[in-house]
Structure 1
Amino acid sequence: MPKTQAAAQPETLTLDRIQTPIGTALVVTDEEGVLRAFNWTDYEDRMRSWIGRRYPKAALAEGRSPTRPAFERYFAGNLDALSSVPWDGAGTEFQKKVWATLCDIPTGETWTYAKLARAIGKPAAVRAVGLANGSNPVAVVVPCHRVIGSDGSLTGYGGGLPRKKWLLAHEGATFKDRVAA
């Protein structure tokens, strides 16, 4: 489950740009400080389009997110810093179940898509789990980067495989490195 469940559509969303070792992160929070979207500047158009579809009545304004300190601590090496960030992903019940289960993957560990499918009680739904994982709107906080291929290799990541590689290495996870830095 999300750390918080918003009762209504937000009226205002704040977009913060946070410098990280792997690019500028886009962090979108609502009036309550709940994370609604996370992406990278090279995917800003895609994220804005997604926000427009999910929160059509919300005004998006640049500003400072109350989650900024947690993101700064995480990227500086405090790997537990994001565990306190409240989030709410706009998605189907199935997607939300997958996203909530992603939060069960311990820092420094990885799961396969098959293991994630088993964890939600749908062992035959590996492809659907992969699609839900790939549509996670609050990446890094909901650690979709911790899901790898059945052979231990890196597989798709919305922010690009070099970022996935960095995040996993930052967290001390083991994986087969087949991505150029």
Structure 2
Amino acid sequence: MTTVTLVQGDITRQSVDAVVNAANSSLLGGGGVDGAIHRRGGPAILAECRALRASRYGRGLPTGQAVATTAGDLDARWVIHTVGPVFSPTEDRSALLVSCYRESLRVADGLGARTVAFPAVSTGVYRWPMDDAARIAVQTVRETETAVEEVRFVLFDERAFEAFAGQVHGHGN
């Protein structure tokens, strides 16, 4: 069974097999977690992302999908890039957010990764409400068949950590 752990801190400082990047569809870096991973991981990550764009993902990585690259200078073997949905108050896009976690775990299984660090996908500039994002993330990880032994949610601030802690420890809705 997969163990779910929580850490408040910087995802780029985690020592794991795979770090999940909340990427944008271009795969060419951006703000938030995406920018931090590219900055700390160095040019090798961007080089592989460019190669993916030149081959399989000419139009970019579709929302809800995941793909792996090297982790460059990070203390990890791989970065798994996934594109979260932008939150919409008028359209239920939660299935796409579920897909980000499920597809990232599927990619991790294909790589043989046993420890995976996830950020709170879609909660930054994509404005997904933190409590709902935490519920979807924890529930999806717990319900997905995977060989990953530890899923570590790495939350940047106390508000995110508390939202995820409420779900992991059963205080959520």
> TM-score scaled by structure 2?
0.31
Higher relative contact order (CA 8 A, sep 6+): 2
> TM-score scaled by structure 1?
0.30
Question: Greater CA radius of gyration, 1 or 2?
Answer: 1
